[in-house]
Amino acid sequence: MSSFARFYSYSNMLVLKFGGTSVGSAQRMQALVKLTVDDRPKIVVLSAMSGTTNSLVEIANALYAKENDKAKSLIDALEKKYRGVIEELYTTDAGKQKGHELIDSHFNYLRSFTLDLFTANEEKAVLAQGELLSTAMYHYFLAEKGTKSVLLPAPDFMRIDENEEPDLAYIESHLRKELEKHPGEILFITQGYICRNAFGEIDNLKRGGSDYTATLIGAALQSPEIQIWTDIDGMHNNDPRVVDKTFPVTELSFEEAAELAYFGAKILHPTCVLPAQKRKVPVRLLNTMQPEAKGTVIRENISDDRITAVAAKDGITAIKIKSGRMLLAYGFLRSVFEVFERYRTPIDMITTSEVAVSLTIDNPKHLDAIVEELNAFGSVEVDRDQAILCIVGRFGAEKQGYASRVFDALKEIPIRMISYGGSEHNISILVETKRKNDALKALNKGLFNL
């Protein structure tokens, strides 16, 4: 095949990602055949079976704590679950044997950590086992049915740099190299979530990271479409875990989707929209339990003014710095931001008055050190257990009426901070976490009449 032909065929490849519940049982894996096996070239990205990554986190915590007996019993329980899936998934003796050998090797590997030193590197290796298992199980399952697929090891092409950011240029060149090893193949299966870091060690894209794997692959290959298959029919207008009546939003702009994902809509990993947005690859959110449902498409140029959806992010800490020196002073905010920069702590919201600045962070790891440094600028107050409500849409040039609708809906809820006008797509409001659910329900009523 000429290099032009190869390039052409890769840019024609769809990327389909299936989340934990979509591979969560033998039946669910069997149901994937209908969605993944046809003539269209594609890369299928799989998460770990649902519950597995949580179990691996528990196992890693026990190993850290040197509670080896506890770790062993957690490993035994998880292995038992996988043995059951193998028996159900495969129909032939040869298939079952291959499946059990796969389980032997991954669970013996997990047990080996009960004997050794356990550090952050070993933890990452433990967390990677879920996706390695699910992809190999599905690949063997297809083989048993006579369908050829290629298992692409994600650590061979998926990489984060020294700032823990995906390295798209590296991913692009290495993924192409891996694909070129299999000319003429049209069905590739790879692990979501796992990658290598700048030191070449096994690492991951943080919880929910399989979505990110899919959008990075789609961006790297400039795919026609990235499909995220999950257990709900698209991005809903509000958090369906909290609010009873919600509905799927048919279309979202990249900006709207990025804000919703970052501010708590669990259906998407917080930063997974960015690679797709960068390369303008549409992302479709679809439901494996209801494949005919329309779902949501995320794409460019959605221009209608509207309030589209709301989401909420917990675990926020608000910090207020009050200082007489801020009055008429330039350079004050820079000094404040530099403190956060030094501790590599991103700021989500910010509001200022003439004598004070309030901002929020979602990573309190260096909070004490940050507060100590900020004390040099004035008095510092810290409020933990806050939540950011994020109202997303397109608030056009005139911007009439949007803010009043939001505040009217929230009239019973005490508000700690407001951020409006930072972009055309977002109004952020800080409330105490204990009022978050009431606030989401009130917004559903006030903004969507539900």
Q: Which residues bind ligand ADP (CB under 6 A)?
A: 19-22, 47, 208, 230-232, 235-236, 239-241, 265-267, 311
Which entry of ligand ASP, ligand ADP, Mg ion, none binds 192, CB below 5 to 8 A by partner kind? ligand ASP
What is the number of the residue whose Cβ is closest to ligand ADP? 19
- CA dist 23 → 46, 95, 137 (Å): 8, 18, 10
In whole angstroms, how close is the CB of 54 to ligand ADP at the nearest point?
A: 11
Closer CB to ligand ASP, 171 or 357, in the complex:
171
Residue entry with tokens 């589209």 = 308
191 binds, among ligand ADP, ligand ASP, Mg ion, none (CB under 5 to 8 A by kind): none
Q: Among residues 217 and 326, whose Cβ is nearest to Mg ion? A: 217
Residue 392 backbone zone (phi > 0: left; psi -120 to 50: alpha; other: beta)? beta
Shortest distance in whole angstroms from residue 22 CB to ligand ADP: 6
Least CB distance to ligand ASP at residue 296 (A): 18
Compute the least distance from the CB of residue 232 to ligand ADP, in Å.
4
Helix (H) or strand (E) holding 152: strand 150-152
Unique residue bearing structure tokens 């949580």: 54
- Least distance between ligand ASP and beta carbon 83 (Å): 20
Q: Quote the CA–CA distance of 445 and 425 in Å, as a whole number.
A: 20
Q: What is the dihedral of CA 227, 231, 232, 235, to 10 degrees?
A: -50
Cβ nearer to ligand ASP, comparing 22 with 317: 22
Three-state SS string over 170-220 comes to HHHHHHHHHHHCCCCCCEEEEECCEEECCCCCEEECCCCCHHHHHHHHHHH
209 binds, among Mg ion, ligand ADP, ligand ASP, none (CB under 5 to 8 A by kind): ligand ASP
User: Hey, how many other C-beta atoms are within 10 angstroms of the C-beta on 156?
Assistant: 14
Residue 280 CA: distances (Å) to CA of 1, 13, 346, 354, 441: 27, 15, 26, 41, 34
Look at residue 240 and give the partner it binds from ligand ASP, Mg ion, ligand ADP, none, a contact being a CB closer than 5 to 8 Å depending on partner kind.
ligand ADP
Task: Compare residues 135 and 323 and give the one whose CB is closer to Mg ion.
Answer: 135
48 binds, among ligand ADP, Mg ion, ligand ASP, none (CB under 5 to 8 A by kind): ligand ASP
Task: Please give the backbone phi and psi of residue 387, each rounded to the nearest 5 degrees, phi first.
Answer: -135, 140
Q: Which is nearer to ligand ASP, 53 or 386 (CB)?
A: 53
* Residue closer to ligand ADP (CB basis): 114 or 230: 230
At 96, the amino acid letter reads K
- Comparison of 86 and 235: residue with beta carbon closer to Mg ion: 235
Residue 235 binding: pick among ligand ASP, ligand ADP, Mg ion, none (C-beta 5-8 Å cut-off by kind): ligand ADP
> Per-residue x/- marks for Mg ion, 195-214, CB under 5 A?
-------------x------
How far from chain centre, in Å, is Cα 125?
19
- Rounded to a whole number of angstroms, the minimum distance from the CB of residue 206 to ligand ASP is 8
Burial of 309 (0-12, 13-18, 19+ CB in 10 A): buried
Q: Select from ligand ADP, Mg ion, ligand ASP, none the partner in contact with residue 130, using the beta carbon and a kind-dependent cut-off of 5 to 8 Å.
A: ligand ASP
Nearer to ligand ASP, 132 or 321 (CB): 132
Spell out the residues 6+ positions from residue 12 whose beta carbon is closer than 8 angstroms to its own. Answer: 41, 224
* Residues contributing to the site for ligand ASP (CB under 6 A): 19-20, 47-48, 53, 130, 192-193, 207-211
Q: What is the smallest separation between the CB atom of 259 and ligand ADP, expressed in angstroms?
A: 12
Closest approach of Cβ 398 to ligand ADP, in Å? 27
Using DSSP bridges, classify how beta strands 150-152 and 187-191 pair: parallel, antiparallel or unpaired: parallel
Sheet holding 187-191, edge to edge: 150-152, 187-191, 42-46, 14-18, 226-230, 283-287, 296-299, 251-253
Of 53 and 223, which CB lies nearer to ligand ASP in the complex structure?
A: 53
CA 120 to chain centroid, in Å, comes to 21
**Partners of 394 in beta bridges:** 306
Query: How do 251-253 and 426-432 pair as beta strands?
Result: unpaired
Closest CB to Mg ion among residues 289, 415: 289
The least CB distance from residue 338 to ligand ADP, in Å, is 35
The option from Mg ion, ligand ASP, ligand ADP, none interacting with 67 (CB < 5 to 8 A, set by class) reads: none
In the numeric block, which tokens belong to residue 48?
């770990």
Measured from the CB of residue 47, what is the shortest distance to ligand ASP in angstroms? 3
Instruction: Name the strand (E) or helix (H) holding 191.
Output: strand 187-191
Contacts for 448 with CB less than 8 Å, ≥ 6 apart: 237, 238, 247, 307
* Interacting residues with Mg ion between 14 and 33 (CB under 5 A): 19
**Cα of 159 vs its chain's centroid, Å:** 16
Amino acid at 269: H
Positions touching Mg ion (CB under 5 A) are 19, 208
